[in-house]
A and B are shown apart, each in its own frame.
Chain A
Amino acid sequence: MTTTIPAPRTSYTPPKRRRVNWEKWGWLYMRVSGLFLVVLIFGHLFVNLVAGNGVRAIDFAFVAGKWADPFWVVWDTLLLWLALIHGANGMRTITNDYAHNPLLRRLILLAILASTVVLLVLGTLVIYTFDPCPANAVAGSLPDFCPVK
């Protein structure tokens, strides 16, 4: 058996690892999503809180008007997914920092994961199953474009 001894000046090559470095991708996600969120959140706040009559203008018809436009449907979908995953991943980091008890930590991480999945599904369904002219509406609460009953 021959043993090859590397030349003395050969630099150290770490063994090839095949596992995905999730921590690195999470770190990158926080930064990339953050850039998008600046635009998405300030746009959302401006339209809903500042423009026109601000928060006083919001009601069912206001939401129906926005979601009649695919632009705001896409906007809110991106906002929902990017913000919730960014926030949940941040909460995961904080949990890892402070929850020293392994059982407690697992429970908190599980709760974060479960609530994130549930809210992503709920929020997405709300946007895409939205009915601007529901049958159970009281007169006057519907947007102008609904057929009059």
Chain B
Amino acid sequence: MPENSAGTLAPQPAAKLKIKPPRLSGTLYRGREGMWSWVLHRITGVAIYFFLLVHILDTSIVRISPQAYNGVIDSYKQPIMGIGEFFLVVAIGYHALNGLRIILIDFWSVGARHQRLMFVIVILLWIVLIAGFAPEQIRTIVLEIQGHTSA
């Protein structure tokens, strides 16, 4: 037996609805933070990917000879590379934190409802990570400028 007869299925007045319709309903990935979080996720993913391709090749030089490997690694100890490493960590930091947010949206029963709050948390944690890493890396870059290329 249906619980309501057809007569009581008339639309309820909007004021009685508990959930307010969002500004763009059902469009988590269109416009606003939903879309920008995705754009940034995509850009950082591609950047890390190309780094990884080069990184596997440079590590493989360890099989040629110790001198060859040390030579390549010494070029990593230049100030310009120090700046590159900084941006690599910044990119991975965002991709990892937002990746966890995506996982929560998909698997946590109320994840999609809290996606905006989680994006704010992602950005805050990202800033904390950058603030924690930057002084360390600036110290490294300064030492590299002064010519300390090895331990």
Contact = CB atoms under 8 A, between A and B. Distances in A.
Contacts of A91: 46, 49
Contacts of B77: 55-56
Among A52, A122, A142, the one with the most B-chain Cβ atoms within 10 Å of its Cβ is A122
Given A38-B100, A50-B136, A56-B148, A137 B65 contact: yes
A114 B12 CA distance: 59
Contacts of A61: 66
Given A56-B149, A91-B46, A94-B46, A119 B99 contact: no
Given A63-B62, A87-B45, A53 B151 contact: yes
Interface stretch (B20-28, B29-37, B51-59, B119-127): B51-59
B137 to A, nearest CB: 8
B49 to A, nearest CB: 4
Contacts of B56: 80, 84, 119, 122-123
Given A56-B148, A126-B62, A130-B62, 16 more contacts: A31-B107, A34-B99, A34-B100, A41-B96, A55-B77, A55-B85, A56-B151, A58-B76, A60-B70, A87-B49, A94-B42, A119-B53, A119-B57, A130-B63, A137-B65, A137-B67
Interface of B: 42, 45-46, 48-49, 52-53, 56-57, 59-60, 62-63, 65-67, 69-70, 73, 76-77, 81-82, 85, 89, 92, 96, 99-100, 102-103, 106-107, 133, 136, 140, 143-144, 148-151
Interface of A: 31, 34-35, 37-38, 41-42, 45, 49-50, 52-61, 63, 80, 83-84, 87-88, 90-91, 94, 115, 119, 122-123, 125-126, 129-131, 134, 136-138, 141-142
